[in-house]
Chains A and B, each alone.
Chain A
Amino acid sequence: MTTVEKHEFPMTRTCPFSPPPAYEEIREEEPVSKVGLPDGGWAWVVTRHEDVRTVLNDRRFSADRQHPDFPQLVKGGFRRQGDERTMITMDAPEHGPARKAVLGEFTVRRMEALRPRIQEIVDGQIDALLAGPKPGDLVEALSLPVPSLVICEMLGVPYADHDFFQTHTAKLIKRATTPEERRAAFDTIRGYMEDLIAEKEANPPDDLLGRQIVKLREDGAYRRASLAATGFLLLVAGHETTANMISLSTVAFLRNPEQLAAIKADPGKTLDAVEEMLRYWTIVDAATARLCVEDIEVGGQLIRAGEGVLALGYAANRDPRAFDDPDELDIERGARHHVAFGFGPHQCLGQNLARMELQIVFDTLFRRIPTLALAADVDDLPFKDDANIYGLYRLPVTW
């Protein structure tokens, strides 16, 4: 059945600021169509904004990544049978309680309470950038340390171990990583998290992991391996994503000085700018894979039980049906309905933390270093074309 696919996934970009050209072709000509996958299988890709929202919020699409028919985006898949499950791979009714167990840690109000500490961290990293060599690397000085420091403090993970988990996380998301290497990286971080949680058990500290130990014990539901799976998920999802958004958005601001001037003149606009940056980059385009478990028609196409679906957030966020002139960066367009954090019950748990980090970084970075400029041609920047989370490996800047 592999002769019917016109395209192979993942598809190739021809411009770092635009989706692969095939996205537009598919969205306009055959919005739900078949693509070949790296392991030789195939899946439907769903590309229109409305259809992506439908797929992600309908129980007929399962998030169970351990199901043997679940579409695999890398050879050998990310997970294996028998792995401790995390909330992102659960369906209702198992999913709701698992998510709600930690949700109280990520409410808008809780994130607001973190604002002063995040500001302090951002200022500290900018101090270090300014004190360091010129040109400097924004990824190393700011993009990666800020979200890593924040998620480490929240969870109660020693930041001193950041080289260790950043190195292994990078292996997890790189497409060329072999299944064995990916498995080893996965097991290594998971083992690290189990050891860390074991140390907290005797006298649970007042951090997210410690509070979870107490809360889950009270509910009679505490299992170390399960909490380690949650901790792993929050640690990995909590730094690599936001880091890439900081780097990519900085490039976008520097290329669009009039939009940068708008947030400098009125920091009240920064939150809208954050939403637009999230839409514009959509760095986890295909994280929203699903398995159809009951026949359903989407965008005029019948999808059958047992078939895989990739709800492409990047294609949806550049859909002219949902956003006027979608390929233009316009911080004032009102982009709140983007699907960069996904949609439906699995929509990103850490989205309000990410928003706050991005808002504080943009306001502070361009206020404190008004002369910030790229120290390399855009064409020479090392974009992450080989990873499942888009971003930049390095970002040389000067001031």
Chain B
Amino acid sequence: MKIIADTGKCVGAGQCVLTEPALFDQSEDDGTVIVLDDQPEGELVEKAREAVHVCPSQALLLQE
């Protein structure tokens, strides 16, 4: 599985960071998403799915 983030779509709500800070961070400058680990494994896989689901701008995509 691979996480793909579209920073152009991202509106910086930070929902992904709240879901799993081990996978996501936000840019200090404009708040957009930074993917810390784009190939999650184990229990982080479920967290990645949750982050995709709650992202308000649908800026995250999972490539299975």
> Which of A's residues lie within 8 Å of B, judged by CB?
56-57, 96, 99-101, 103-104, 106-109, 336-337, 341-348, 351-352, 355
Across the interface, name the chain B residue whose C-beta is closest to A100.
B30
Q: Name B1-55 residues within 8 Å CB distance of A.
A: 11-15, 17-19, 21, 25-32, 50, 53-54
Q: Which residues of B contact A99 (CB under 8 A)?
A: 11-12
Chain B, interface SS category: loop
From A57, A104, A344, A347, give the contact of B31 (CB < 8 A): A104
From B11, B28, B32, give the contact of A347 (CB < 8 A): B11
Nearest 10 A-B pairs (CB), nearest first?
A: A103-B31, A347-B56, A100-B30, A103-B12, A108-B14, A107-B26, A108-B17, A345-B11, A343-B56, A347-B13
Q: Which residues of A contact B19 (CB under 8 A)?
A: 336
Q: Which residues of B contact A341 (CB under 8 A)?
A: 13, 56
> Which of B's residues lie within 8 Å of A, judged by CB?
11-15, 17-19, 21, 25-32, 50, 53-54, 56-58
Cβ of A100 and Cβ of B32 under 8 Å apart? Answer: yes
Determine how close the nearest CB of chain A comes to the CB of B6; give it in whole angstroms.
Answer: 12
Q: 5 extra interchain contacts, Cβ-Cβ under 8 A, other than A100-B31, A107-B17, A344-B57?
A: A103-B30, A108-B26, A109-B26, A336-B54, A344-B11
Q: Which residues of B contact A355 (CB under 8 A)?
A: 18
Rounded to whole angstroms, the CA-CA distance of A104 and B50 in the bound complex is: 24
Determine how close the nearest CB of chain A comes to the CB of B60; give it in whole angstroms.
Answer: 13
Rounded to whole angstroms, the CA-CA distance of A337 and B58 in the bound complex is: 13
From A104, A106, A337, A344, give the contact of B29 (CB < 8 A): A104
Rounded to whole angstroms, the CA-CA distance of A106 and B31 in the bound complex is: 8
Q: Which residues of A contact B12 (CB under 8 A)?
A: 99-100, 103, 106-107
Across the interface, name the chain B residue whose C-beta is closest to A106.
B31
Assuming the contacts A100-B30, A100-B32, A107-B31, asked whether A342 and B11 have C-beta atoms less than 8 A apart, the reply is no
